Chain A
Amino acid sequence: MLPALFERFGLNQLWPTGGFPGGVHPPEHKITADSPIIELPLPPQLILPLKQHIGEICAPLVEVGQHVLRGQKIAKSQGYVSASVHAPTSGTVVGVQDHAVPHPSGMGRPCLMIEPDGEDRPDESRAPISDYRNEDPALIRERIRMSGIVGLGGAVFPTFIKMLRDQRHPVQTVILNGAECEPYLTCDHRLMLEHAHDVLRGMDVIMHAVNAQNGVVAIEDNKPDAIAVMRGAIEAAGMDNVEVRTLPTRYPQGGEKQLIQTITGKQVPEGRLPLHVGVLCQNVGTAKAIHDAVCLGVPLIKRVVTISGDAVPNPANVCVRIGTPIPFVLAQCGLEDLNDVRLIHGGPMMGERLPRTHVPLVKSTNGILAFHRQSLYSEQAVEEPCIRCGHCVEVCPAGLVPNELAWHCRNDQFDRGQDYNLFDCIECGCCSYVCPSHIPLVHYFRYAKGQVAKIEKERAFAELSKARSEARDNRLAREQAERAARRSKVRKQHAPAADKAAKTAEKKTDEGKTGEGKTEAVKKEGDKA
């Protein structure tokens, strides 16, 4: 409301740097910014979780012992919000079983195991769509869907859903998210430097598919080389409706809603999508994957990942097949012994600590950070009482009051928490980062969100059980009534004499009644007359 008010009185310059409120600027630690992307060799075994996206789990299409080709679809999506899985290389399927996946729970999910044959033979059934500009957008969208592409920034939402051409909400601007605001991570940075042309073509595909008028490539100002390269590439490609926008370096600049607010000045309203403000936001990695899928006919089978952290001897940006075990990737960077090492999946701000090390690299993995146990802050920090300094309120990019929110979440007052807009929290970690009392605020919010979902689920189950129990009671009552009716019928057939007697008795009373009725009717008529 406040920004709207500011705008109304022409005061929007007063709003900090014209972007989103709050934010922090943690030390960048982008030590891999200058290391080129290295292609990693094939591991001895690939582990492909059947669910690497938001939505429904996939159904496997292959059997154990079957030989698959690189790029062959091995699991098909079920339901609308889902993304299929493809074989990252040629080889043999050796198993379909539960295996630990990169998840903070450390629990397992059904996975397909593939043993590469080393030949890496491609599946060439999918032809490239080179002339995509003259192609039906629906076909391009279908190609993206078939290629199993999901948002590679970390949210892993199936990309084709976002690329809907909606008459009511036409997309004007496509924003290519190259902000990469998380410390340590440099995969998007390197991708823009080394594959600027492919990334731009991917963006062009998206713009054509949704019929957008203009495009913005958003890059934080701590990556001047990427800005220069992207500007040059745009000029070379002659895309005059695309511009590079330099953003101030401030975490979480790369958050979808924050980025849109910085670039367009519009806030995505609560519970709505970027589509509703005419914007489509895609990560640069996703744009590259779209380029590969449409222009080269290659589905999403590998991605660029930053391997960094103080426990890694040779930090690097690597291009890895999806499904490669993380210990294998780390070993390639010189880290063999994983004892006393803490792995973080994603960036240090939003990433999750992995309780298990032997997990595959999945579509959402944009970075793997390995730290010595003693250098992890969260290992030593002890939570102390809130001193109400208000730092968390200042830095919250969603405009929430984290200290109050955490108070209610800690005391399991989830209704109150929702009054404080618990579900608007984007879990960026700014509040936890600045808290001088080391309160794990985001952890409280994650806990509360989980509990709310759980309670809601239990309530729905209780309702279902109640409906079933009521239906049963009704059925039992009806059956009993039917049985009683049948029994009386049977009794009548078996004892006709008694029945007759009863009937005559009934008739008599009936007659008596009708007689009374008659007399009454007569009486009434008489009254009327």
Chain B
Amino acid sequence: MNILMAILTLGGMALIAGIVLAVASRAFHVEGDPMVDKIDAVLPQTQCGQCGYPGCVPYATAVASGEADVNLCVPGGERSMLAIADLMGVPPKEVEEEAAVPMLAFVREDECIGCTLCIKACPVDAIIGAPKQYHTVIEDHCTGCTLCVEPCPVDCIDMVEKEQVLEEWTWAAPGKRPSVPQTLHKDEENHAASTV
């Protein structure tokens, strides 16, 4: 009798608990994975595919589902990695490939044959031109992903270092030597000599 009572009470309790949880899971149902958007937001959106996924959203999806590592984004560098590791709650991992200095694509126009292959390859529509016309890169929109270099049949696209301008200069951390361009003017010394 006592055993029966115990089974009944425990069973009853478990049933109530089950109903409560079923209702709660219906009420708090989560659509999709909100982590994807959050991870996507900290990626640099170069859509370069260096992570092995065809773009930033696919990589974010892969990270959120746990199948990709947090340290695959090369252009994002350490900062993206740290942000993703932080979101995922996993220990940070070193980014294996060193993020290069910001680059821009540049089309050598004399050699361009106007094949439009690079235009098709650009993930952010930063190359303009038409068939049989010179193509050129919109500097302000180029992410430096290098995806246009490979398709060019005449190899007329170079990756050039993004020119550093004074407006974008920021203070280096104390203790680190600031990067002062040492040869801005060849004739500076002559100037100094003539004016002093």
Q: How far is the CB of A442 from chain B (nearest CB, A)?
A: 9
Mask: chain A, 23-60; 1 = CB below 8 Å from B; 0 = not: 00000000000000000000111000000000000000
Interface residues of A in 435-480 (CB under 8 A from B): 440, 443-444, 446-447, 449-451, 453-455, 457-458, 461-466, 468-469, 471-472
CA distance in complex: A93, B153 (Å): 46
Number of interface residues of A (CB under 8 A): 49
Contact A443 B174 (CB under 8 A): yes
User: CA separation between A281 and B171, bound complex, in Å?
Assistant: 29
User: Chain B contacts of A356 at CB under 8 A?
Assistant: 180, 184, 188
> In the bound complex, do residue B195 and residue A325 qualify as a contact, i.e. CB atoms below 8 Å apart?
yes
How far is A462 from B123 in the complex, measured between Cα atoms in Å? 13
Residues in B neighbouring A43, C-beta threshold 8 A: 195
Are B141 and A465 in contact, with the CB atoms below 8 A?
yes
* Stretch from B9-17, B43-51, B110-118 contacting the other chain: B43-51
Whether A465 pairs with B124 at a CB distance below 8 angstroms is: yes
Given contacts A328-B196, A468-B124, contact A447 B174 (CB under 8 A): yes
Are A465 and B195 CB-contacts (below 8 A) given A109-B166, A472-B124? no
B170 on interface, CB distance cutoff 8 Å: yes
**Alpha-carbon distance A454/B40, docked complex (angstroms):** 19
Q: Mask for B166-196, Cβ within 8 A of A = 1, else 0?
A: 1011111111001011001100100110111
Given the complex, which residues of A lie within 8 Å of B195, measured CB to CB?
Answer: 43-45, 325, 327-328, 358
Nearest CB of B to A383, in Å: 7
From B47, B141, B164, B188, contact of A464 by CB (8 A): B141
The yes or no answer to B125 lying at the interface (CB within 8 A) is yes
Q: A466–B45 contact, CB under 8 A?
A: yes
Are B180 and A336 neighbours in the complex by a CB distance under 8 Å? Answer: no
Minimum CB–CB distance for A500 against chain B, Å:
38
Q: Does A108 contact B (CB under 8 A)?
A: yes
Please determine whether B47 and A465 come into contact, CB atoms closer than 8 angstroms: yes
Interface residue from A447, A464, A465 paired with B170 (Cβ < 8 Å): A447
Taking the closest CB of chain B, its distance from the CB of A322, in whole angstroms, is 16
Residue A128 interfacial (CB < 8 Å) = no
Contact yes or no, A450 B188, CB < 8 A = no
In the complex, chain B residues whose CB is within 8 Å of the CB of A468: 124-126, 141
Indicate if the CB atoms of B191 and A465 lie closer than 8 Å: no
Hey, which chain A residues are within 8 Å of B172, CB to CB? 447
Contact assessment for B124 and A469 in the assembled complex, using a CB-CB cutoff below 8 Å: yes
Q: Is B55 in the interface zone, CB < 8 Å from A?
A: yes
Evaluate contact between A104 and B124: CB separation under 8 angstroms: no
Compute how far the CA of A450 lies from the CA of B172 in the bound complex, rounded to whole angstroms.
9
Tell me which residues across on chain B come within 8 A of A447, comparing CB atoms: 170-174
Interface presence of A399 (CB below 8 A):
no
User: Are A106 and B126 interface neighbours, CB within 8 A?
Assistant: no
Docked-complex contact B169 and A105, CB < 8 angstroms: yes
Query: In the bound complex, do residue A105 and residue B45 qualify as a contact, i.e. CB atoms below 8 Å apart?
Result: no
Query: Is there a chain A Cβ closer than 8 Å to B143's Cβ?
Result: yes
Nearest CB in chain A to that of B43: its residue:
A462
A98 touches B184 (CB 8 A): yes
Judged by a CB distance under 8 angstroms, whether B56 is at the interface is: yes
A-B contact pairs, 26 of them (CB 8 A): A44-B194, A45-B191, A104-B171, A106-B178, A106-B180, A107-B166, A108-B166, A336-B196, A356-B184, A357-B192, A358-B192, A383-B174, A410-B173, A446-B171, A447-B170, A447-B171, A461-B44, A461-B143, A462-B43, A465-B44, A465-B46, A465-B47, A468-B124, A468-B126, A469-B45, A472-B125
Give 6 closest A-B pairs by Cβ, nearest first.
A450-B170, A462-B45, A465-B45, A446-B171, A468-B124, A106-B180
Other A-B contacts than A45-B191, A100-B184, 13 sampled, CB-CB below 8 A, are A103-B169, A106-B181, A107-B164, A358-B188, A358-B195, A440-B174, A447-B173, A450-B170, A450-B171, A465-B45, A468-B124, A469-B123, A471-B125
Interface of A toward B, CB cutoff 8 Å: 43-45, 98-101, 103-109, 325, 327-328, 331, 336, 338, 355-358, 383, 410, 440, 443-444, 446-447, 449-451, 453-455, 457-458, 461-466, 468-469, 471-472
